[in-house]
Amino acid sequence: MRVSIPTHDRERLVRALRSENRPDGLIDLTLLRLEPGEHPALIKQSVPAHEGEILADGKPTIIDSVRKSTEIGIAFIHQELNPLDNLDVAGNVYLGREPTKWGLVDQARMRADTKKILDQLGLTFPPETPLSRLSLAQCQMVEIAKALSLNARVIIMDEPTSSLTLTETERLLQVIRELRSAGVGIIYISHRLGEVHEIADRVVGLRDGQNAGGLTREQITHDAMVQLMVGRELVRRSHEPNTAVMKPRLKVQGLRTTRYPEKEISFEVRSGEVFCLAGLVGAGRSEVVQAIFGTDPATGGSVSLDDQNVALGSPRSAIEAGIGLVPEDRRHTGLLVEWTIKDNISLPSLHDFATAGLVKRKQEAEAAAVESKAIGVKTPSIDVAAANLSGGNQQKVVLAKWLLRKPKLLILDEPTRGVDVGAKAEIYDIMRRLTDEGVAILMVSSDMEEVLSTSDRVGVMHEGSLSGILGRDECTEEGIMRLAVGRT
């Protein structure tokens, strides 16, 4: 397959097969040829088709709609989920392809067919479960089930494990191996290089919208993939803890969340340190930080910053106190994706640029441009819509809007989910710079390597409780996992 594509953001490469987006500037990209049962993996950036041709079974094929791609056997699992919360699992899996009986949707058949796919993926929730009751990780698995229901010959998976637990990831990788054995071609797009190394037959590296080269199975190593993605060897640095005496900045006392209302959690975060909340998915980590910020209600307890009480349930109070939150789901709760970079960065600070209710647009733009440049957002203009940025650059925009406010405490919920290794290194540099300036960082992370390399202290949660706090010298993968499963 050979196509010419416009350069912009990485997640749009896969949409080249579907012609879903407007063209931009052009480059020439030699992509890949899929053999039956082969499993190549794509890493890094790419975008939608504009010129060239797509060959299916050796014949030129015009794909001008999602329906057309489905007809020729292409299924697509999106990185950014768009589930219909008002439907159940079966309704989402067979959306637009519902089986009918006597002119009506055959619910029994649809749910029975969905149950077979859920069993294949090792999922225990029933097909009649409303999507609104599922976690982000479970919704990701529903998207995967939807792709499998198409019986596709080629399945494109864009960061399919970014929201999954370790067990779910292992099951998905096993399903991929089974599909490969059955002759299905998989295009696997991921920044998790360990997964790529484990299952890829070939790797195609994309950098700045161009083909940066390829690797055969024998050539696939972590360093070789990083070299393709960023064009240089990354210097591996670990977070150096602040050895100065640090005073407590955030104090959480007896906090109870709506998910675990019977459990109390207490801890402190010191100025100039990275305090990480670790644990298994569902342990209640995100609920704790959302309760601190006020986006989720707390059922009890207190939060103070620099010994000043922060009103629970009030994001405004948290922001005014000097707290910023980078949420887990940046597209839905961290950004207004249809707004520009400038408008997103300045949004929490609009009152700083306003007089008598009127925003001084020039000052707003200047401040947003300075922050965007300082944090390394790659964009031709701050007037570009956030939706058109790569995942890593979107994450930088979310960071920039809080850095503009010069926070005392920055909460990072899965700060590097769905970003490439280059952007990940840049985010770690930003974290180091902030702690050097005395900012306290409260991080939630499921990435064990990230937890061990960036944290000064780690609080491990299990079913809504803090099962232990480990100092930097005590942190090991085994020690964290023992606490995560409730063992002391």
How far apart are the C-alpha atoms of 301 and 319, rounded to whole Å? 19
Among 267, 268, 256, residue whose Cα is nearest residue 296: 256
Same domain, 281 and 422: yes
Whether 236 is covered by a domain: the verdict is: no
Whether 241 is covered by a domain: the verdict is: no
pTM of the entire predicted model: 0.63
In 347-446, alpha helices (H): 361-375, 391-403, 421-436
Determine phi and psi for 411, rounding to 5 degrees. Answer: -95, 125
Buried b (16+ CB within 10 A) or exposed e, 459-486: bbbbbbbbbbebeeeebeeeebbbbbee
Mean pLDDT of 98-111: 91
DSSP string, 155-172: EEEESTTTT--HHHHHHH
Among 415, 431, 414, 395, residue whose Cα is nearest residue 9: 395
Q: What is the pLDDT of residues 45-71, one digit of tens each?
A: 334 567 788 888 888 888 877 788 888
pLDDT of residue 447: 84
Whether 176 is covered by a domain: the verdict is: yes
Same domain, 217 and 362: no
Determine phi and psi for 364, rounding to 5 degrees. Answer: -60, -50
Are 29 and 3 within 8 A, CB to CB?
Answer: yes
Same domain, 207 and 292: no
3-state secondary structure of 211: strand
Whether 243 is covered by a domain: the verdict is: no
In 94-135, alpha helices (H): 107-120
3-state secondary structure of 380: coil
Q: Cα dist. 10→44, 305, 462 in Å?
A: 6, 39, 36
Are 214 and 235 within 8 A, CB to CB?
Answer: no
pLDDT of residue 190: 83
The range of the structural domain enclosing residue 350 comes to 248-484
Q: What is the pLDDT of residues 196-238, one digit of tens each?
A: 888 899 999 887 667 888 898 998 888 888 778 766 554 444 5
Are 476 and 460 within 8 A, CB to CB?
Answer: no
Does 239 or 256 have the greater pLDDT score?
256
Residue 21 banded pLDDT, cuts 50, 70, 90: very low
Same domain, 202 and 311: no
Number of Cα atoms under 13 Å in the Cβ half of residue 354: 10
Same domain, 209 and 268: no
Same domain, 210 and 271: no
Positive or negative, the Cα torsion across 197, 168, 422, 239?
A: negative
Does 277 or 140 have the greater pLDDT score?
277
Point out which residues pair with 323 in neighbouring strands. Answer: 409
Point out which residues pair with 43 in neighbouring strands. Answer: 205
Residue 11 banded pLDDT, cuts 50, 70, 90: very low
Whether 103 is covered by a domain: the verdict is: yes
Say yes or no to pLDDT of 292 above 60.
Answer: yes
Q: Which amino acid is at 210?
A: Q
Whether 320 is covered by a domain: the verdict is: yes
How far apart are the C-alpha atoms of 374 and 370, rounded to whole Å? 6
Same domain, 61 and 184: yes
pLDDT of residue 49: 63
pLDDT of residue 232: 56
Same domain, 144 and 254: no
How far apart are the C-alpha atoms of 215 and 207, rounded to whole Å? 14
pLDDT of residue 233: 53
Say yes or no to pLDDT of 324 above 90.
Answer: yes
Q: Taking phi first (over 0 means left), then psi (-120 to 50 degrees means alpha), and beta for anything else, what does residue 139 get?
A: alpha
Same domain, 327 and 207: no
Say yes or no to pLDDT of 457 above 50.
Answer: yes
CATH code, domain with 194: 3.40.50.300
Three state DSSP letters for 444-465: ECCCHHHHHHHCCEEEEEECCE
DSSP letter for 331, please: I
Domain C-terminal end among 195, 230, 265: 230
Same domain, 37 and 171: yes
The number of distinct structural domains making up the chain is 2
How far apart are the C-alpha atoms of 122 and 130, rounded to whole Å? 18
Whether 240 is covered by a domain: the verdict is: no
pLDDT of residue 68: 83
Domain C-terminal end among 198, 230, 262: 230
pLDDT of residue 244: 53
Same domain, 203 and 305: no
Whether 238 is covered by a domain: the verdict is: no
Q: Show the tokens assigned to 10.
A: 């990485």
Say yes or no to pLDDT of 41 above 50.
Answer: no
pLDDT of residue 8: 40
Q: Taking phi first (over 0 means left), then psi (-120 to 50 degrees means alpha), and beta for anything else, what does residue 294 get?
A: left
Among 243, 283, 292, 237, residue whose Cα is nearest residue 260: 283
Mean pLDDT of 151-163: 83
Domain C-terminal end among 197, 230, 263: 230
Residue 348 banded pLDDT, cuts 50, 70, 90: very high
Same domain, 78 and 177: yes
**Beta strand residue intervals within 193-279, DSSP E:** 202-207, 210-216, 248-257, 265-270, 274-279
Task: Share the mean pLDDT of the chain.
Answer: 83
The top-scoring range by mean pLDDT among 171-175, 280-284, 412-416, 480-484 is: 412-416
Residue 417 banded pLDDT, cuts 50, 70, 90: confident
